[in-house]
Amino acid sequence: MLNFTLRRLIQIPLVMLVLSVIVIGLTQLLTPEQRAAPYIRSEQQAARIQQIIDERGLRDPFPVQYGRWFSNIVKGDLGFSKASNKDVVATIAERLPNTIELALLTAIPILLLSVWLGTLSALHKDQLIDQILRVVVVLGYSLPTFVLGIVLLAVFYAYLGWLPGAGQLDILNQFAVGDMRRYTGMMTVDAALNGRWDIAWDALRHMILPAVTLLIVLSANLVKVMRNSMLEVLTSDYVRTARAKGLAPGVVNGKHARRNALLPIITLGGFLIINLLAGSVITETIFAYPGIGQWFVQAALQLDIAGVLGFTLLSALLVVVMSTAVDILYGVIDPRVRFH
């Protein structure tokens, strides 16, 4: 198992190196003037754009430009983001905890609910509860995220007034945040550590509608996959053997069947976490939630190359790391994987 894990971990820097070459190579399709935009922070600098191009070597051969960019990455310099008016690293450090906070609130309920509903549907195949769950899954799977988000805002914020709308905090609490000491960057956690339970509750209420939107949209596919996987496992030979031995249905379904049915869910669950951590772009934009997904949209609209590049590399890193984690977890659950 140690060798299997080491092989997967060694792949991470190699894959990231190849991806960085591809991503930086794609930026060469832009003109030097467009690639100089991240280095322009004032009108005075805009007036000497040709000088900036020469200083930054934006007309140099690609290997030279890539080597220069890689040396800056090693120093922790990803450039300046026009969308946030801050360095890319500072922007990620500020916004990523918000996205992680929303992901933590969403991922665990999605995984638990999907496994439970998928198992329940499979164990009651073609019965009323199975039919109802299949209809709900189809609705959740086919409903666009932006439509569901707008409907939830219209109902629970505009009409009923039960929950707050866009943003992370109410206006009054936004001013109070400046006096708080930040520990993790996650609003609910930091507010609780500072004893500001009112701010923690306000931040939590603002995350309910985005979390429900993600829960409905993202859990639909997982429920469907879990149901199909469970149905396939229930007809396998070892499950029939366990039943023939007289084992209790709960032991057969829970210990023997569901554990093996979880293998596809592990893969999809890994990509679910990637999607959440990389910023649920549409959801964060609809609810004006200050995560990295919203920042990416703003950067793309403003042709903020440094911002888009930083988000792309962060997303690629998350994909590679989570894919490796999924492979390792596969090996833990199914030892046969280790020998392939």
Does 25 fall in a domain? no
Other CB atoms closer than 10 Å to residue 328's CB: what's the count? 17
Count of residues making up the chain: 340
Helices (H), the chain: 2-27, 32-36, 43-47, 49-56, 62-74, 88-123, 128-142, 145-152, 171-176, 187-193, 197-234, 237-244, 249-251, 259-261, 263-277, 281-286, 292-301, 305-333
- Distance separating alpha carbons of residues 77 and 85, to the nearest angstrom: 15
- Non-local CB neighbours of 125 within 8 Å, separated by 6+ positions: 231
Does 34 fall in a domain? no
Residue closest to 177 by CA, chosen among 191, 197, 164, 192: 191
Does 123 fall in a domain? yes
Average pLDDT of the residues of the chain: 82
What pLDDT does 1 receive? 62
Does 35 fall in a domain? no
SS3 30: coil
Contact present, 5 and 326 (Cβ < 8 Å):
no
pTM of the predicted model, to two decimals?
Answer: 0.79
pLDDT, one tens digit per residue, over 141-171 is: 788 888 888 999 999 988 888 888 888 888 8
Does 276 fall in a domain? yes
Please give the single-letter amino acid code of residue 289.
Y
Residue closest to 78 by CA, chosen among 64, 63, 93: 93
- Distance separating alpha carbons of residues 168 and 95, to the nearest angstrom: 12
What pLDDT does 209 receive? 92
Domain extent, residue 158, equals 94-333
Number of domains in the chain: 1
Q: Rounded to the nearest 5°, which phi and psi values hold at 87?
A: -65, 150
- Distance separating alpha carbons of residues 218 and 275, to the nearest angstrom: 10
SS3 167: coil
Does 103 fall in a domain? yes
Q: The domain spanning residue 111 has which CATH number?
A: 1.10.3720.10
Residue closest to 277 by CA, chosen among 296, 261, 258, 300: 296
Residue with tokens 């934006």, as numbered in its chain: 58
Ranges of residues in the chain whose predicted pLDDT is under 50:
none
- Distance separating alpha carbons of residues 149 and 153, to the nearest angstrom: 6
Residue closest to 150 by CA, chosen among 137, 162, 159: 159
Q: Rounded to the nearest 5°, which phi and psi values hold at 313?
A: -70, -40
Q: Rounded to the nearest 5°, which phi and psi values hold at 225?
A: -65, -40
Contact present, 113 and 219 (Cβ < 8 Å):
yes
What pLDDT does 278 receive? 66
SS3 28: coil
Does 18 fall in a domain? no
Does 167 fall in a domain? yes
Contact present, 53 and 30 (Cβ < 8 Å):
no
Please give the single-letter amino acid code of residue 275.
N
SS3 86: strand
